Structure 1
Amino acid sequence: MMVMQTTKLANTAIPIPMRHHSTPFFEFPHKKRKQRRMLEEEQRQKALFEAEEESRSRAWDYIVDFLQASEWSDQMDQITVVYDAVPTMEELVSFGALDEKEGTRASRKLFKAPVVWDELGHGLWKVLSASEQKRQQQQQQQQQQQQQQLQQQQQSQQLQAQLQKSPQKHHHHHHHRHHSHSHSHSHHQAPIIEEPTKPVCWRSSSFGGYVEFPHSICNSRRSSSRRTSEDSCATAISQDCMSLSSSPSRHGGIPRIFSRITSRRSNS
């Protein structure tokens, strides 16, 4: 029974078709990249063709305007412009840079006329040559203006550099003069002279008055040390004060110094 069921299922099962051409996984991105590159190239060629056609249409309009403004405008029905021979506007303008013979030969290929074939080409070349000369003059004028502007800029930059350098030099020179003046002033400065000291008066109890010491003694003491002289003076004063204070006072009598003063007055 089981054998019969398996054989029936085997007979009723639909076989899976075999894939003879299996594409790998990395082939799809490669195809997409190739298709995108082809589309970009087609778009680029289309844009170039459109730009060329637009330039040729402008050259066509220029030639028609030339015929209408020329002396052969009354023979327009006998003159035909060859559209296939019309170049782009850039190429048509370049005809003006050629010499007379080559420019006439290149220009007359654009027309079909029974009589004025060469004259048309020569006239078109004249117009193109005049426009080319005018364009060159304008270009030269622009170049001259640019050169003048560059020269003016360079001159202004040089002036600014000189102005920046001159204050620095002046300041350095002034500083040098001030330094030399101060240096010479320090050399010619007057020496410091010490004033002679006044004689020092000491009060002595033994002489009963003031005693003046000569300057030589004071100067010798001062030369040794000012501080020691001051200390000695202070000690002498303190000893004198102590001797005066220690001497007994005379009750009812005149002090010694006043007695001498009165005796001198009486003698005088």
Structure 2
Amino acid sequence: MAYRIEENTAGYLVFVIDRQEKRNAINYEIMKGLSEVIELAKSSNVKALVITASGDRAFCSGGDLSVFHQLETEQEAYVMLKKMSDILYELLTLPIPTIALMNGTAVGGGCEIATACDFRLARTGIKAGFVQGNQAITTGWGGGSILVEKFAYTECFKLLLEAKIVPAHYLREIGFIDELYDGDSTEACERFLENIIHKEIGVLKSYKNMYIRKWEQAGLRRKIDEEVRQCAILWESEAHHKYVLQFLNKKKS
């Protein structure tokens, strides 16, 4: 199976992407798993949801191009992008705290997933970047719109425009990463959640709802839909198809 769902005895759920051979890239099975864990978190009494991955090399390398390269037209791309953007909006508006436990490098869509979470904990030494611009597309799962909503204009605009992979300590300095850790990721997560998890769930949900209302009033869902449509248009471009072909040929050689 490409993912695992675990319930920590402290009272939170953990979703583990388990595709180390693909640098924990997202495919349709992972999408299904994310939807599953979000619904489980909604229907249970857990107090937080943690998203992480197997191994220590990659948190998530974004969409699996060996799967998604089959999507050639704007409409074909839109269906996939819309599906994942709906999942990330559900993650964003989940009425309990969410944590991206970045055990390894995060690029492209991996950064979008991390952005949709409330907090980002990263292992010291990892790197991350919104590299979509190098692929002749934009963010397409809603992560760009969420980034713009949550963080400072100058730093975030630069991250998107340059499409560079940058070190975790820089992302900590600009506020994208909330905390760096060394050693065991589970222990680091438990330390971070310790003073949160002991609060009554009604308190946690009430505070989270303050932010959900803010995002609703800002029309964030509409902005995400516009992002998806723009990415789908670019997906169909010759420049993007050329990048994908070069990427796949490089993987074969």
The structure in which a higher percent of residues are helix is 1
Q: Which has the larger strand fraction?
A: 2
Shorter-chain TM-score: what band? under 0.3
| Structure with the greater alpha carbon radius of gyration | 1
TM-score by length of 2: 0.19
Q: Which has the higher contact order (CA 8 A, sep 6+)?
A: 2
